[in-house]
Amino acid sequence: MGIEIYAPENGFVSFFNSPYYSHMNGLAVDIYPDADEPVPYAPSPVEGTISNIYEFKSPSQRYFETPKTEKLVLISNPGKPELRVRILHVDCRLKIGTRVAVGEALGHLERSGFFNFWTARHMHVEVRRREDYLRAKGGVPIEPINLGKKTEGDLQSNPSVLGVETVGKDYLLAETSGSVVRLGSFWGLGCTIDNHLGILDCGLPHYGYGGVHFIEPSSVKTGDPVRLWGVDIGSVTRVYKNFALFRCKPLRLYVNDIPLRGLSLYLWLRENKKVKIVPKEPITCPTTQRFSDIKLRP
């Protein structure tokens, strides 16, 4: 639709790592501005003018404190008067009518009641038609642009050793020397479909579905198996120009035979060899230690 969405190069993004309708249908992107900042500000992902700001009651969360109200921010573009960019999870302090440039601070990111305990602060971005911006469903398709012509990576059948550190009691970051793939401007955990090397973008298996980013998966078709570390993790349900959606199979993830909820996988905008591991519940005794023998079982 002619709207360009930008993200900071020191952060990461996700199109499909979410349980909500807009992500499951390729209509939204989550932007995590800076993985190194505990409470980062939200740089505007588009240029335009703030046309409206709506406040609504935030759902509560049993794991962490949430704001009483949240804001829905709409940004208009003079070249596309029929569209609005809708942004959530930002405590925007700017006034309606303010002109913003790409990268200009909109406000600070909030820990929304829509998040799970392992979800890091981010802004949720959609492109909506001017008259249809409030309801949960709707929006126009968002196409991931990988800005590259080839995929590079070194897949292992299974990483044998992971260096894991507990972060904020809510998840683990595991560093792996293998299985990291570069696709144009994106880095992430690699998988294969029909001999195509791609990057996983999903909550595996806890959200039940996910996305795989490719250059142009011309031979990938519905029903093809998606494989990670030699394990069949799901089958393709839809194929697009440069990504495919898949349905997860029932899987179990273990580290040192400790059962976990799953893997939370993103597209990094810089070289990154860390994988986010989600526990069953928040960790009560944070620790830094060496784990080995990660297993993904059907």
Q: What residues contact 285, with CB distance under 8 A and at least 6 apart? A: none
3-state secondary structure (DSSP) of residue 239? strand
221: how many CB neighbours lie within 10 A of its CB?
12
Token pair 């942004």 in the structure block, residue = 87
Phi, psi at residue 23, to the nearest 5°? Answer: -75, -35
Element (H, E) at 21: helix 21-24
Asked if 231 and 219 touch (Cβ cutoff 8 Å), the reply is: no
Please give the DSSP secondary-structure letter assigned to residue 141.
-
Q: What is the pLDDT of residue 160?
A: 47
pLDDT score, position 267 = 94
The DSSP string of 162-194 is EEEEEETTTEEEEE-SSSEEEETTEEEEEEEET
Burial 62-100 (b: 16+ CB within 10 A, else e): eebebeeebbbbbbbbeeeeebbbbbbbbbbebeeeeeb
Residue 159 confidence (pLDDT): 58
Domains of the chain (ranges plus CATH)? 12-129 (2.70.70.10), 151-297 (no CATH)
**What was the pLDDT predicted at 286?**
57
Token pair belonging to 125 = 């971005």
pLDDT digits (tens, 9 = 90+) for 205-228: 999 999 999 887 678 999 999 999
What does the pLDDT look like over 273-297, one tens digit per residue? 888 889 888 876 655 555 556 677 7
* pLDDT given at position 85: 98
